[in-house]
Amino acid sequence: MQSGEARFAWFSLLPALLFFAIFVGFPVVYSFILSFSDWNMTSSTADWVGMANYTSLLGDEEFLRSLLQTTLFTIAITACILVFSLAAALLLDLKLRYIQVYRTILYFPAVTSMVAIGIVWVWMLDPEYGLINQLLRIVVIEGPLWLADPKMALPALVITAAWRNVGYFATIFLAGLQAIDLTYYEAARMDGAGAWDCFRRITLPLLRPTILFVVVMSVILSFQVFALVYVMTGGGPAGSTSVIVFYLYQQAFTYFRMGYASAVGYVLFVIVFVLTLVQFKLFGKQADA
């Protein structure tokens, strides 16, 4: 039976794996090879430079800075998502009238293009005319300069990203919540458990695969954050919002250093891959059981 299972497994995986080999494998291998070259995009030839791209990355201050900023961004946004999306999902799971309307509204930002969000949020964050500072002025606080302040620009992007992603991940949590078998709660209730006990003893443990999914996704997506920076700050002011993929994009398409850019991409890959493995180790085990 075990071998029949394996046969079915591979049979069912084969088309997808074949597909992967062509449409993912080839580009990955190709660009990986490029990362050992000095291809400049505009010429038809490239020289093999060995590890040179990787070794110069280690001494590249701008790269290291973008790495640090990406890490900060990822930690902040993932924390926001864990707290706010889960809270939102619990609220959206209530049997309230019009709950459908709230679910839809909170999902709005996820279906809106980054270009649109960029235009709107640059205005929202405008120190003079922006809605946020206008509202702060009502409570007599002069708001920060947001995107014009090197210290506040990254937090401003986190706020924008949170606004965009909380509803998105709340939808995942909601689906996760609704997949939990209600008989568990019934049984707990019989034993006299309260709401908080139920949340801690049933919801959280059974939500583990979903939490793992959300955290892994959030980390992968945040480490690759690009559009937000591309449309809102261009990496400024004073490089304070330059993130890895934005740095990579600039190396490729402003400085025409495709080989170097590819190396940046693979360093990023290794970082995210290791982080994901760690997350699977940390809270994957029980979920996989």
Partner 1 sequence: MSRRNNELSTGSIPRRALITAAATGLAVAGLPWRAPAQTGKHTVTIWSHFAGTNYEILKRYVAAFNEATPDVEIKTTSFGPSEILPKYLAAVAAGAAPDIFHAPGYVPPDFARNKLIIPLDDLVKLDPSTLKNFDPITIYDGQRFGVPVNAGLGAMCYNLDLFEKSGLDPSKLPETWDDLIAAAGKMTKAAENQWGLALGNQPGFGTAQTYWSFMVAAGGDLVTPDGKASAFNSEQGLETLSFLADAVNKEKISPRKAYTDVQSWNEWGTNKIGSILLYPVFTANILATKVRTASAPPPKKAQRGAHFAGNYWTISSSSKNKEAAAKFCQWWVQPSISGRWAGESGAIPNSQAAIDDPGFKAFLAKNPLGQAFIDTIPFARPFPGIVGLPGMIQIVSEMVQAAVLGGETPKTTLAKAATRVDQELKRAQKA
Partner 2 sequence: MKRPGMLRTRTGDDHSRLMLLVLQAILVAAAVITLLPYVWMVSSSFKSNADIISASIRLIPAHPILDNYVTALTREPVLRAILNSVVMAGGETLAVVLTSIFTAYPFARLHFRGRDTVFMLVLGAMMIPSQVTMIPTFMLMKWLGWIDTYQGLIVPRAVTPLGIFLMRQFLLTLPRELEEAALIDGCGRLRILLQICLPHLGPAAATLAIFTFTASWNEFFWPLIVVQSQEMQTIQMLIAALKQAEAADWGVIMAIITLSVFPTLLIYLVLQRYFVKGVAMSGIKG
* Residues in contact with partner 1 by the rule CB under 8 A: 40-43, 122, 126-129, 145, 147-150, 153, 181, 183, 233-240, 250, 252-257
Among 37, 53, 69, 210, binds partner 2 (CB under 8 A): 210
Please identify which residue in 54, 226, 256, 283 interacts with partner 2, judged by CB under 8 A.
226
Closest to 154 (Cα-Cα) out of 58, 225, 64: 225
The partner in contact with residue 54, picked from partner 1, partner 2, none with C-beta cut-offs of 5 to 8 angstroms by kind, is: none
Which of 122, 85, 76, 135 lies closest to 106, judged by CA? 85
Question: At 107, is the secondary structure helix, strand, or coil?
Answer: helix
CB of 197 within 8 A of CB of 115?
A: no
134 binds partner 2 (CB under 8 A): yes
Q: Decide if residue 273 touches partner 2 (CB under 8 A).
A: yes
User: Which of 83, 131, 238, 278 lies at the binding interface for partner 2 (CB under 8 A)?
Assistant: 131
CB of 218 closer than 8 Å to CB of 85: no
Regarding 255 and contact with partner 2 (CB under 8 A), the answer is no
| Contacting partner 2 within 28-87 (CB under 8 A) | 28, 30-31
User: Rounded CA gap, 22 and 90, in Å?
Assistant: 41
Least distance from C-beta 71 to partner 2, angstroms? 15
Please tell me the distance from the alpha carbon of residue 56 to that of residue 75, in angstroms, as a whole number: 27
Q: How far is the CB of 125 from partner 2 (least distance, A)?
A: 11
CA 10 to chain centre: 31
Contact partner, 144, from partner 2, partner 1, none, Cβ < 5-8 Å per class: none
